[in-house]
Structure 1
Amino acid sequence: MTTSKQGTGCPDISVVVPVFNAACHLLATLRTVQQQTFSNWELIAVDDGSTDASADLLAEQARSDSRIRVLRQSNAGVSIARNRGVSACRAPLIAFLDADDLWHPDKLLAHVERHRVDVGMGVSFARVEFLTPAGRATGLVASHPKQPLRPADLLCENPTTTTSNWVLRREVFEAVGGFVEGMSYSEDLEWLLRVACDGRWRIEPIDRVLTYYRTSTGGLSSSLEKMEQGWLRLIGEARRYAPELVEAHFAAAQAVHLRYLTRRSLRLRGDPAQGVDFLVRALRSDAPRLLREPRRTAPTALAVLGRLLVHRARGLLPSPFSSAPLPHAEPPTRPSAVSRPDLPAPLVSVVMPLYNSAATVRASLESVLAQTYPNLEILVVDDGSTDDGPALCRSYDDLRLRIVQQKNRGLAGARNTGIRECCGSIVAFLDSDDLWLPEKIERHVEHLLTRPEVGVSYSCSAFIDAAGQPLGIFQTPALHHITPELILCRNPISNGSCVVLRREVLDGIRFEANLYGTPESYWFDDSFRQSEDIECWIRIALQTRWQIEGIGEALTLYRVTSGGLSANIEKQFASWQRVLDKTATYAPDFIARHGRRARGYQLRYLARRAIQERQPRVGVRLAHQAIATYPRLLLEEPFRTLITLAAGYLGLLLPAFLYSLLERFMMRVTGAMQRLRIGARARRLPDGRSGNGA
């Protein structure tokens, strides 16, 4: 068969692509369609209320390729998006493609040829190879049936793996109806089950790898329960049109589905107890069914039980036969959401960039190992160190610790590498000279579990000196109602070591680039060597719907080092100005409204830093520049602005010893006031209720 030519009238096949905040992978996905050897296709992209750059990318592609059409709707979920895309199709064949998956160049040609010669085949699907989150081939190919699918095959697992693997006749979709609206899990399996139960068409395999499925390490561990709920919804739907099928196969189907969830929990390195629970329930449902497949059941059981025993042996989890508290943790003085039996204990990935920090990394790493929250993995990213820091890290014998080495890419590049490698549904960052209090992660996990609308959780910070001794002063930023404007002007998140966030948040701002010779996923912008954190927080605030909220406890110890700042003032301000310039490319109105105010606040911040570094002349100049840039500083924050000016002039006029005495006195007064403020905040829960919560 020769390749069809573009422009022959009605397309032979319509490709439906639902899109929601997929800008980081979208171009690669669209390109994989444009590179098909079969060219007589149309593509209907349904933008499901994206808040990132997806809409602009789709519009640009539609302008350059007449075969691409774009539909837009408020966010309604993938099922409604696919249904709407099908309603706009013109071709007799339909293919689905998720916005982060890829196809072999012969994908459409192979399917079209099969459907042309076999009119009884209603749905065809090929073999699927798994990709890493960065899009690299893993060599792992999903198991693949040899025969047409039967209804019973579709009650437990999806033999087709993903809708990106399907090509179907439009008449089939019209006959059985669309995807069930409101279903976010197992909606594809339920649709296939309807086709199989109808009986008029076959669902046939093609024994060739034609689809590439991008896996994701983020968000799935917190979704395992939702996946089970979605499967139960499928069973409920099936009872309406195939009650006898459900009655005959429910126990076996449930056993296989729970075994599948057990394997998913292993891949995610989540709470081992959760995986054991899935496995025990699977055996209770239908042990003979599982034992008939020893090559799948036995390795799954050994892996999940072995992982649980390893964790117990290392004291990372309490025994189910004991009510003893967690290792290194005092008995809790208040109810903790982390220990609630109805909430899973998510895996937290701690990413620690390391570059020539041998003097401080041991203390930083030990502050992570001493955390009261046990379900951690620790990724130390050696960013081309030339000192003994990496060797010090390797000296720790802890299964939770991994060391990743790379050529120097800077702080942003090291964090990005850690994100690529991590497996947790929650990610925390710790610089290799800062420290955490032992309850740091436990407090943040509790915060995120009890506040599902919050995506980014951060804490107050206490300052320590180069030797690790407390300075008695704190960062006490705003904790609630964090807007993009507030981040731009005041950056309440303060420092990268105080942040703990959901992996789903990072996936919402992920983008693809080729900076080092290979296309990779990025979250922080590697081109920034300073201000990379605030640039990332602003993108989160502007491009996602997640709330950002703080905890009123000083859980992070932020190390202050002296020297070198005055020489870098211009570089710091230039790097911060780049944040404004980049933000203006995707949010010009936002920068037009708030850019001048933000420059004033940033100049005042740099003035205070210069004064702290015993550079009062630089500080006074910057303070005046801040007021000239944004005169309303004197109205909005008169006390802080005038104190900055006064400190600068006193530094110029007073003898050094007298100024030092005055500075120490003011630090003690400021620290006492800050401790009172932190104490008051710590007695309130995030929603404003009084109590001992964070």
Structure 2
Amino acid sequence: MVLTNSQPVLISVILPLYNAESYIREAVRSILQETRIPLELIVVDDGSTDRSLKVLKQIRDDRLVVLYNQGKGIATALNTGLAAARGKFIARCDADDYYPAGRLFRQINWLMQHPEAGAVCGGYRVIDPKGLSVTAFNWSQEIEDITGELQAGTARTHLCTFVIRTDIVRSIEGFRSYFVTAEDIDLQLRLGDATNVWYLPGMCYHYRLHETSITHTRSSTEREFFDQIAREFQRQRQQQGHDALQRGCPPALPQKHDKPPMTAKQHLQNFLLGEAWRSYQAGQLTKALVAGMRSALALPSNLTVWRSVLSLVIKSATASSQLMFRLYSRS
């Protein structure tokens, strides 16, 4: 499975892996389906104990490279892949997610036509464990320079939607192992310090919600701490030129983990409820009601969501009645 030829590689996709036997085949195939550009897929296993590696061995493709990280954590796994990368560009895909067809080709073409840009990103779709669409985030229909957003501490999209010039990622020393989670947010914000980053409209990633992902196994205390400190470090860099981690004196990690993880069902419910109200605001009443009911049924014990859905039903019925009245009045 290791590349042995000397063919130039244009892009290296790094895929950190830990116990994702149910999803790894789909993730790998979504990347290797791109045959118009020379690429390598570097899977870095972080000590999987399930059948993930057996699944990989069944995939016969010279572009697939498997490395081993031995349980050293997500940031170290990503840096292991970065050190081995041969491509001019770098991208990431998590083992439980997947790429839409044509995404890499489109983004790389754009970067090659815009040498002043160091990275490009895009929108993403949230899916449930079975792959059904939950909601989509595509923030703009226009190409935008989002460097200023990143410098201000705002990460609008998922790191896995990015394609980045490899030399830039290496110039900022890759991922920082201090971050047990939110290493992706930290890297995005530091990219904004190092280069021009652009947003290219379109879906670039399918992000799957399920109970065994890092987001849903880490305590909320820990996740919130690292999310906040990534943005605090950015504020420090903008004001002082460097952050506490760069100075060697980062804040101590939280000792109490009194907030349990947000479950995938809670996360799914929140996304669906947001989709319902966005659809209502856009006048898409049927879509709003479907998303609202899916949200309530994702976690039926949450009475607050049922009240929100009831409000949505009433508002939708009122809006529909008003529309029918206006149409009748014109006839």
Instruction: Output the TM-score relative to the length of structure 1.
Output: 0.34
2:191 corresponds, among 537, 540, 550, to 540
2:94 corresponds, among 409, 431, 441, to 431
Aligned twin of 1:326:
none
Contact 1:367-1:437 at 8 Å conserved across structures: yes
Cα distance in 2 for partners of 1:531, 1:349 equals 22
Counterparts of 1:473-552 in structure 2, within 5 Å, are: 473-477=135-139, 480-486=144-150, 488-492=152-156, 494-510=157-173, 523-542=174-193, 544=194, 546-552=195-201
Pair 1:661–1:488, CA change in 2 (3 A):
farther
Counterparts of 1:9-24 in structure 2, within 5 Å, are: none
Aligned twin of 1:570:
221
Using the TM superposition, give the Cα deviation of residue 561 of structure 1 relative to its aligned residue in structure 2, in angstroms.
2.6
Using the TM superposition, give the Cα deviation of residue 367 of structure 1 relative to its aligned residue in structure 2, in angstroms.
0.6
Pair 1:656–1:553, CA change in 2 (3 A):
closer
Pair 1:488–1:576, CA change in 2 (3 A):
farther
Instruction: For structure 1, list consecutive stretches of 5 or more residues without a partner in the other structure.
Output: 1-265, 271-345, 511-522, 593-605, 616-638, 640-646, 667-694
Cα distance in 1 for partners of 2:45, 2:146 equals 33
Aligned twin of 1:378:
41
Cα distance in 2 for partners of 1:413, 1:614 equals 32
Counterparts of 1:397-476 in structure 2, within 5 Å, are: 397-471=60-134, 473-476=135-138
For residues 495-524 of structure 1, the C-alpha deviation after alignment (integer angstroms, 9 at most, x for no partner) is 2321111112113212xxxxxxxxxxxx10
For residues 313-367 of structure 1, the C-alpha deviation after alignment (integer angstroms, 9 at most, x for no partner) is xxxxxxxxxxxxxxxxxxxxxxxxxxxxxxxxx6111110001111111110111
Cα distance in 1 for partners of 2:133, 2:11 equals 27
Aligned twin of 2:31:
368
Counterparts of 1:641-656 in structure 2, within 5 Å, are: 654=303
Using the TM superposition, give the Cα deviation of residue 665 of structure 1 relative to its aligned residue in structure 2, in angstroms.
11
Pair 1:475–1:388, CA change in 2 (3 A):
same
Using the TM superposition, give the Cα deviation of residue 410 of structure 1 relative to its aligned residue in structure 2, in angstroms.
1.9
Aligned twin of 2:209:
560
For residues 370-391 of structure 1, the C-alpha deviation after alignment (integer angstroms, 9 at most, x for no partner) is 1243411111100111111112
Instruction: For structure 2, list consecutive stretches of 5 or more residues without a partner in the other structure.
Output: 244-260, 271-280, 282-294, 316-331
Cα distance in 2 for partners of 1:495, 1:653 equals 28
Matching residue's letter, 2:199: G
Contact 2:149-2:155 at 8 Å conserved across structures: no
For residues 417-444 of structure 1, the C-alpha deviation after alignment (integer angstroms, 9 at most, x for no partner) is 1010111111111000111112011011
Matching residue's letter, 2:44: V
Aligned residues: 264
Cα distance in 2 for partners of 1:464, 1:480 equals 26
Instruction: Output the TM-score relative to the length of structure 2.
Output: 0.69
Cα distance in 2 for partners of 1:417, 1:557 equals 24
Cα distance in 1 for partners of 2:52, 2:84 equals 20
Cα distance in 1 for partners of 2:19, 2:237 equals 36
Cα distance in 2 for partners of 1:470, 1:372 equals 26
Cα distance in 1 for partners of 2:164, 2:230 equals 21
Matching residue's letter, 1:490: T
Cα distance in 2 for partners of 1:664, 1:569 equals 32
Contact 2:155-2:189 at 8 Å conserved across structures: no
Contact 1:484-1:538 at 8 Å conserved across structures: no
Using the TM superposition, give the Cα deviation of residue 610 of structure 1 relative to its aligned residue in structure 2, in angstroms.
10
Using the TM superposition, give the Cα deviation of residue 611 of structure 1 relative to its aligned residue in structure 2, in angstroms.
6.7
1:388 aligns with 2:51: yes
User: Secondary structure of the residue that 1:490 maps to in structure 2?
Assistant: coil
The two structures, once aligned, show a CA RMSD in angstroms of 3.7
Which structure has more relative contact order (CA 8 Å, sep 6+)? It is: 2
Contact 2:128-2:268 at 8 Å conserved across structures: no
User: Secondary structure of the residue that 2:200 maps to in structure 1?
Assistant: strand
Cα distance in 2 for partners of 1:553, 1:356 equals 30
Aligned twin of 1:87:
none
